[in-house]
């Protein structure tokens, strides 16, 4: 959004009012009419005349009159700051002539620069990292080109591009951007900053993009701004930046409200809320005093409620725009990202699409990427292959470290993360050293210390920080699973220490699937471990094992009467297997998936759930699931999405094709658009086979479009396709069985 002035003179008066901190108005004198005039005191006068072009014919008489007026006012005993503001750039000769008479000739941008030398800030800010948008290896700016994405307002279903977010800020909106770690919030901040900085000459709104993690303990907006300017080594414009803030001429992009918390800690939620409010008082000051709007970004679940977020950040709900970042790229965005990273391979259907996973893959060598993408496996097998490639690559840093040592270090760090409040870290260099000592049995040498600081799956928190954190939960979740997978083989002393720990961070769905690969091979050993954990201190370990047993593919799981109490479950999906003889009580279940039929001797008592899939309300909960609270109930469609994630490649492609052609808007789908989402390797070949099968079975029709074959749905088959999507692996439809056979061809 650009400011609209009725005239060039209005623009000059607006700038002058901001620069000098007083209202400027036109005023007439005997020999000249000033376009902007103000008195800063009885003995100090400011005046500006406007010149709509910079040619000599226009400028010379204005300069002469300003010189004469200045002499007249000086003779009266008052100081006169005389300015001529030009639309364009005056010649150096005219500027010099004016200076001899005590008159400054300035372009509009030079006049605005009297408030702040913004170009200096812009250059320094562009050369510094934006939040966590850094190269995990160096901590410096991530140079891979930005992939345009949209940011969603869930209340109204509207999406915004970075340029549109900039428009909202300039209109006075306070934009809050929420998303999980690694979802791209900092890249959004960087793009919005570029938009606002490009327009400052037209808007007179000077944007400042602040990494809040650098501003611990700052209690006012002015303190935050001073710290920010100092971190950019711009001491010479610190006072100018503060002047911009005081005159309400700044816009602020504040990255990481969740990284500004107090170092104090309490188990009392009321005290925690109070601590968060104290930590964010400087942010509230900025929100209250920003000249236009603000953009504030942070993790979605940092606050205990929406109401707390509004109060802690000092928001006015009537002026609030709440946006969310998608956790994953779309297929097209992921393809664009790898194109920008110059990675030219077929993208398998199961490839994780989280931005930071894509960034990690982009750092691998081309041979490793080629081999990785040629693997025809499910998500858990892919993760196992992926982590081997990562460890093998890193072992090349120093020949004395083999991939097994590096994996062992990773697993020890994953164990440490079980009790990290931020779940992904941070890890100090001392933490890295302890992980190495535990894995190897001796302190790291100097070379080993270098290796530890270069682990590719650990990224710096910032360019100036030595602390590390996992770059994405995808890597960390699998490592946590591998930590549990080794427990049956370790010594009893090591196993007992794990049982006596009190973890707070459970496995996610991926971790459960990775662990299930190992559980399926040694079911008795892991069942015994789960039973011991259920009566020891580590209830989360018991919960992780119980959840993972359901992912083993066994049609029935007998838990032998185990009772898990006081645990945190990341996800427990009773739809995957017929469970029996299991009791869960006084626990927190982040995601509960109910089965279509009641399990035998299974009870959930006095527990709470983040989300429940399979019913739409409390009234729909089965009698065996006695929950005290549920944050949200998911639709049947969510259940389908959960189940789809465990399908083999052929069935996953079938489901994707059915959804696109039968149940998305449009009358048909072009062949190249359908196949593009499956890459150009094995997935694409399988997609072609399935399309041909659907045409032969009269489920799809085809016609020749302008750009190739177009596939259309045979509407009489819609009910059948809907039933297949609902039943998935439970489907008895002949088509489901035929497609399953394609995996074996």
Residue ranges of domains in the chain = 8-114, 118-325, 328-363, 487-633, 639-742
Contact criterion met (CB below 8 Å) for 157 and 165:
no
SS in 3 state form for 337-382? HHHHCCCCCCCCCCCCCCHHHHHHHHCCCHHHHHHHHHCCCCHHHH
| Three-state DSSP state, 533 | helix
pLDDT tens, residue by residue, 597-639: 889 999 999 999 988 887 767 877 889 999 998 888 764 444 4
Phi first, then psi, for residue 326 (nearest 5°) are -65, 140
Average confidence (pLDDT) over 296-309: 81
Q: How far is CA 711 from the centre of its chain?
A: 36
| Range list of β-strands (E), 426-513 | 458-460, 468-470
SS in 3 state form for 585-606? ECCEEEEEECCCCCCEEEEEEE
pLDDT tens, residue by residue, 469-508: 887 788 899 999 999 999 999 999 999 999 999 999 999 9
SS in 3 state form for 196-265? HHHHHHHHCCEEEEEEHHHCCCCCCHHHHHHHHHHHCCCHHHHHHHHHHHHCCCEEEEEECHHHCCCCCC
Q: What angle do CA 401, 407, 413 make, to 5 degrees?
A: 115
Q: Which of 329, 642, 326 is nearest to 513 (CA)?
A: 642
- What pLDDT score was predicted for residue 397? 53
- 639-742 CATH: 1.10.10.10
- What pLDDT score was predicted for residue 677? 54
At residue 557 the predicted structure's pLDDT band, cuts being 50, 70 and 90, is very high
Contact criterion met (CB below 8 Å) for 580 and 561:
no
Is the pLDDT at 395 greater than 90? The verdict is no
- 8-114 CATH: 3.40.1350.10
| Three-state DSSP state, 77 | coil
Question: Which segment, 354-358, 449-453, 628-632, is predicted with the most confidence on average?
Answer: 628-632
- What pLDDT score was predicted for residue 391? 79
- What pLDDT score was predicted for residue 4? 45
Distance separating alpha carbons of residues 10 and 25, to the nearest angstrom: 9
What share of the chain has pLDDT > 70, as a percent?
84
Residue bearing the bigger pLDDT, 393 or 468 = 468
Contacts of 184 (CB under 8 A, 6+ apart): 133, 149, 325, 355
Distance separating alpha carbons of residues 608 and 478, to the nearest angstrom: 25
Contact criterion met (CB below 8 Å) for 406 and 391:
yes
- What pLDDT score was predicted for residue 326? 81
pLDDT tens, residue by residue, 131-176: 877 665 555 677 777 777 888 898 888 899 999 999 999 999 999 9
- What pLDDT score was predicted for residue 264? 44
pLDDT tens, residue by residue, 28-55: 987 788 999 999 888 999 999 998 888 8
91 sits in the region (left: phi over 0; alpha: psi -120 to 50; else beta) called: beta
Contact criterion met (CB below 8 Å) for 170 and 196:
yes
Place of tokens 């066994």: 554
CATH fold label, 118-325: Rossmann fold (3.40.50)
Query: Mean pLDDT of all residues in the chain?
Result: 83
pLDDT tens, residue by residue, 673-707: 676 555 555 667 888 889 999 999 999 988 877 66
Contacts of 271 (CB under 8 A, 6+ apart): none
At residue 340 the predicted structure's pLDDT band, cuts being 50, 70 and 90, is confident
Q: What's the pTM?
A: 0.57
- What pLDDT score was predicted for residue 547? 97
Is the pLDDT at 528 greater than 50? The verdict is yes
């Amino acid at each position: 959004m650009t400011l609209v002035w009725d005239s060039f003179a209005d623009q000059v008066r607006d700038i002058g009012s901001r620069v000098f901190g007083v209202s400027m108005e036109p005023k007439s004198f005997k020999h000249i009419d000033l376009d902007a005039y103000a008195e800063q005191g009885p003995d100090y006068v400011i005046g500006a005349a406007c010149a709509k072009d910079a040619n000599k014919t226009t400028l010379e008489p204005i300069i002469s009159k300003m010189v004469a007026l200045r002499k007249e006012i000086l003779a009266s005993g008052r100081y006169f700051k005389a300015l001529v503001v030009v639309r364009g750039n005056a010649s150096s000769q005219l500027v010099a002539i004016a200076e001899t008479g005590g008159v400054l000739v300035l372009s509009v941008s030079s006049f605005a620069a009297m408030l702040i030398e913004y170009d200096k800030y812009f250059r320094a800010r562009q050369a510094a990292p934006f939040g966590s948008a850094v190269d995990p290896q160096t901590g410096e700016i991530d140079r891979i080109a930005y992939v345009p994405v949209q940011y969603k307002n869930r209340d109204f279903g509207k999406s915004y591009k970075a340029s549109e977010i900039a428009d909202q800020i300039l209109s006075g909106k306070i934009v809050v951007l929420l998303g999980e770690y690694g979802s791209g919030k900092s890249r959004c901040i960087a793009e919005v900053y570029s938009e606002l900085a490009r327009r400052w000459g037209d808007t007179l709104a000077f944007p400042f993009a602040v990494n809040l993690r650098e501003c611990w303990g700052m209690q006012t907006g002015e303190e935050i701004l001073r710290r920010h300017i100092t971190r950019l080594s711009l001491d010479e414009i610190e006072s100018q930046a503060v002047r911009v803030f005081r005159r309400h001429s700044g816009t602020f992009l504040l990255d990481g409200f969740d990284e500004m918390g107090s170092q104090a800690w309490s188990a009392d939620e009321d005290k925690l809320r109070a601590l968060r409010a104290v930590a964010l008082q400087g942010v509230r000051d900025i929100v209250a005093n920003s000249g236009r709007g603000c953009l504030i970004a942070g993790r979605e679940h940092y606050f205990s409620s929406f109401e707390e977020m509004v109060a802690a950040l000092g928001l006015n709900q009537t002026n609030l725009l709440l946006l969310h970042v998608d956790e994953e790229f779309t297929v097209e965005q992921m393809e664009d990202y790898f194109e920008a990273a110059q990675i030219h391979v077929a993208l398998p259907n199961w490839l994780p699409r989280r931005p930071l996973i894509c960034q990690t893959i982009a750092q691998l060598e081309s041979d490793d990427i080629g081999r990785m993408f040629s693997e025809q496996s499910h998500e858990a097998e892919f993760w196992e292959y992926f982590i081997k490639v990562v460890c093998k690559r890193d072992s090349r840093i120093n020949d004395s470290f083999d991939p097994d040592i590096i994996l062992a270090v990773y697993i020890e760090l994953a164990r440490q993360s079980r009790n990290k409040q931020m779940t992904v870290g941070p890890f100090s260099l001392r933490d890295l050293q302890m992980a190495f000592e535990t894995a190897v049995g001796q302190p790291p040498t100097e070379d080993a210390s270098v290796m530890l600081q270069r682990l590719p799956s650990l990224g710096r928190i910032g360019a100036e920080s030595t602390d590390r954190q996992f770059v994405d939960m995808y890597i960390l979740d699998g490592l946590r699973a591998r930590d549990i997978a080794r427990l049956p083989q370790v010594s009893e002393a090591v196993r007992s220490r794990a049982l006596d720990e009190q973890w707070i961070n459970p496995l996610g769905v991926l971790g459960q699937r990775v662990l299930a690969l190992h559980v399926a091979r040694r079911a008795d050993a892991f069942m015994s471990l789960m039973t011991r954990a259920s009566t020891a201190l580590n209830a989360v370990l018991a919960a992780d094992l119980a959840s993972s047993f359901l992912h083993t593919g066994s049609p029935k799981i007998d838990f032998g009467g185990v009772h898990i109490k006081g645990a945190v479950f990341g996800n427990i999906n009773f739809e995957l297997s017929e469970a029996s003889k299991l009791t869960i009580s006084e626990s927190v279940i982040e995601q509960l998936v109910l089965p279509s039929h009641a399990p035998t001797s299974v009870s959930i008592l006095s527990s709470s759930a983040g989300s429940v899939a399979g019913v739409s309300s409390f009234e729909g909960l089965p009698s065996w699931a006695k929950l005290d609270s549920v944050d949200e109930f998911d639709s049947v469609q969510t259940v389908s999405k959960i189940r789809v994630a465990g399908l083999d490649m052929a069935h996953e492609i079938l489901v994707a094709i059915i959804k696109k052609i039968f149940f998305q808007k449009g009358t048909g789908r072009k062949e190249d658009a359908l196949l593009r989402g499956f890459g150009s390797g094995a997935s694409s070949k399988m997609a072609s086979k399935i399309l041909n099968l659907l045409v032969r079975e009269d489920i799809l029709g085809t016609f020749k479009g302008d750009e190739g074959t177009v596939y259309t749905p045979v509407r009489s088959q819609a009910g059948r396709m809907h039933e297949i999507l609902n039943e998935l692996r439970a489907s008895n439809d002949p088509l489901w069985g035929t497609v399953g056979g394609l995996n074996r061809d």
